[in-house]
Chain A
Amino acid sequence: MEKESMNLLLPRGISRRKVAHLIGGAAMASTIPAALRSAFAQERSLNLFTWSSWGEQGFVDEAHSKLHLDIKPTFYSSSDEMMAKLRGGGTRLYDMIVPVQNYVEPAAKAGLIEPLNPAVLTNSKDIFDQFAKSQQWRVDGKLYGIPFVWGANAMAFNRKETGELDSINALFDPKYKGRIAMRDEPEDTLSVAALKLGIKQPFSMGEKELQEVKKLLISQKPLVRTYWKNVADVQNLLATGEVVVAWSFLAVIAPLRKAGVDVGWVWPKEGAIGWSEAITPVKGTNKIKLVEEYANFTLSPEYGELMARNTRYAPSSKAAIAKLEPALVKDLGIDIANVNRLVFKDLPKDKSRWNEVWNEVKAA
């Protein structure tokens, strides 16, 4: 009887021994590296806590063949998740993370990350000044990373319906009533409204400016088809033509063009919202030298080229961009001549107030 019920628990064709073997194997596999980690601190492997894009097989293989370095990625899917896990004791697990610039200061202040030695990052000579010298990656004069990748959230439009666009005003134009999409996220959307109002530093807005932004966004509401949460939603709305102008991620453009939709992508002359990401050491890692070696590697022309071709994100290295065909550079949305149009996401002075204002807009 006992035997029979045991077997019922298992799919047919898998013996109990096989399962026991698998479970045992997993237990071994998961405990041994941890034991080795303390015994051989100089073993050439790094635990990378990251967005899934930077842990893809191509990058792991590249680090293995070029640096003889084993990268073991674990994935998070939002910056807040990353912070929560590091705060809860995750700092013991990982050697490095890939934060977005607006999380550098909070992470440094909370004692979750460690600075890098700038002298070791020799490839930074090829990096655009906007990234290599960015103050957002420095806290109290210490360097916490030099971005290897960057991009902008900007405006996507259906060329057949709208023609060429270059101004953020299109998102507020009654002509496109019911065919406009905005992002359901306070930092992006409040900044877009601020840029439209001519506010140059959206992230240091005071209460008076926040009120103007709120008024503008409420007046825009009847024009908006949807506030998208998932980028797949805005991609589909643009594909079906239900939406013709949208505040969006660059990631939607390539698949849409591939599917035959004539979409345009522009950093409006009033501005766009920039982001950048870098390798940053986790507090207490005993492999800081190795982390610095890897951080420098991500700034190399080879890594930048590989990244641009595999993930279609823009490298911050001039030398990497020089290795790409002009058509691809244009496709990646790289417009370094206009990089001054970008406002890089920062921590708003009063983040909870921003959330409140955004909720008031949505509830209005």
Chain B
Amino acid sequence: MKRRDPAAAALSIWTALVLLFLFFPLVVVAMFSFNGSTISRFPLQGFTLHWYAKLFADRAIIEALWNSIIVALSTVGISTTLGVLAAVGIHRYGGSFAVAMRGFALRPMMVPRLIIGIALLTFYDLFKTNLSLLTVIGGHVVMTLPYVIMIISARLVGFDKSTEEAAWDLGASTFTVFREITLPFLKPALIAATLMSFTLSFDEVVVTFFTTGNANTLPMVIWSMLRFGITPEVNAIATITIFSSGLFAIAAELSLRRARDLS
């Protein structure tokens, strides 16, 4: 019989505790979303789907949900396109110029969202732009682009340039090389970047608040509902959001892992 390593046992207990600390509050929220009472306390007062029914009957929330989805999908489209092109371009330059460019491109990640939001509002105002979902998408692209560049750049580190050169040798055009060699190589990272930027955009409140005109997104509605306390409806939205972003995050992690295994 194998002797158990006490260090390994301690580590697994520690890991379990950390995970419990991180996820238990989310489990509680999900439990209360099915709770019969309006008050979030134990013992639970019986199982109900009432809060979910109420949620889906609320036109304002459904509209906000659509707005959020539209913004998130558009942000993903623009961010990943720009991000891939930027990362590939930077990688091709190489040397200290690439290091400087990458540092510059990642900068918005360090800036607090509040500052990005107010700066964008002032910027849009300077050009008398009519704020709408389009300006929100603009804000979200600024916010998510660095993450895309970072993820794609990490993947490009293991890229074997000779495959591109071989394709050129065989007469492929630049565009064909990109489509047949570079893009397939980037696929796992591209999926990860897509899911990452979707999640970031879907959850964002501050940047959205400052760049929106007359449209509300789902997180904005939830945030403003919180002024007078957490109602079970908020628990229900939170549960749906946690569940779907959880799925996205897991999918992103799996494709990142595949990227690592392949390289």
Contacts and interface: CB of A to CB of B under 8 A. Distances in A.
Interface of A: 1-2, 5, 8-9, 19, 22-23, 26-27, 29-31, 33-35, 47, 51-53, 55-57, 72-78, 81, 84-85, 88-90, 92-93, 230-232, 235-236, 239-240, 249, 251-252, 255-256, 258-259, 261
7 contacts: A26-B74, A34-B130, A75-B224, A81-B209, A230-B226, A231-B229, A255-B39
A8 B131 contact: no
A23 B210 contact: no
A232 B184 CA distance: 50
B220 A75 contact: yes
Describe A's contact surface by its main secondary structure: helix
B41 A240 contact: yes
Given A19-B73, A76-B209, A231-B228, 20 more contacts: A5-B183, A5-B191, A23-B77, A30-B133, A30-B213, A31-B134, A33-B214, A51-B227, A52-B225, A53-B227, A53-B228, A74-B213, A77-B226, A85-B210, A88-B122, A235-B39, A239-B41, A251-B228, A255-B38, A261-B39
Contacts of B228: 53, 231, 249, 251
A240 B77 CA distance: 48
Contacts of B77: 23
A91 to B, nearest CB: 9
A160 to B, nearest CB: 16
A26 B125 contact: no
A11 to B, nearest CB: 10
Contact of B39 (A1, A56, A239, A251): A239
B2 interface: no
B39 A92 contact: no
Given A33-B214, A72-B214, A77-B224, A89 B125 contact: yes
A35 B121 CA distance: 19
Interface string B109-127: 0000000001001101100
B229 A23 contact: no
Interface majority SS on B: helix, strand, loop or mixed?
A: helix
B213 A75 contact: no
Contacts of B69: 22
Contacts of A19: 73
Nearest to A8: B191
Given A26-B133, A236-B39, A249-B228, A1 B125 contact: no
Given A9-B76, A57-B59, A74-B213, A30 B134 contact: yes
B101 interface: no
Given A231-B228, A235-B229, A34 B118 contact: no
Contacts of B152: none
Given A23-B70, A240-B41, A88 B210 contact: yes
B5 to A, nearest CB: 41
A252 B209 contact: no
Interface string B203-217: 000000110111110
B46 to A, nearest CB: 13
A81 B183 CA distance: 43
B187 A5 contact: yes
Given A52-B227, A231-B229, A34 B209 contact: no
Contacts of A77: 223-224, 226-227
A74 B212 contact: yes
B230 interface: yes
Interface in B175-194: 179-180, 183-184, 187, 190-191, 194
B73 A23 contact: yes
Which of B37, B39, B191, B210 has the most chain A CB atoms closer than 10 A to its own CB?
B39
A90 B41 CA distance: 40
A74 B39 contact: no
B238 to A, nearest CB: 12
Interface string B55-94: 0001110000011011001101100000000000000000
Contact of B229 (A30, A31, A251): A251
Contacts of B191: 5, 8-9
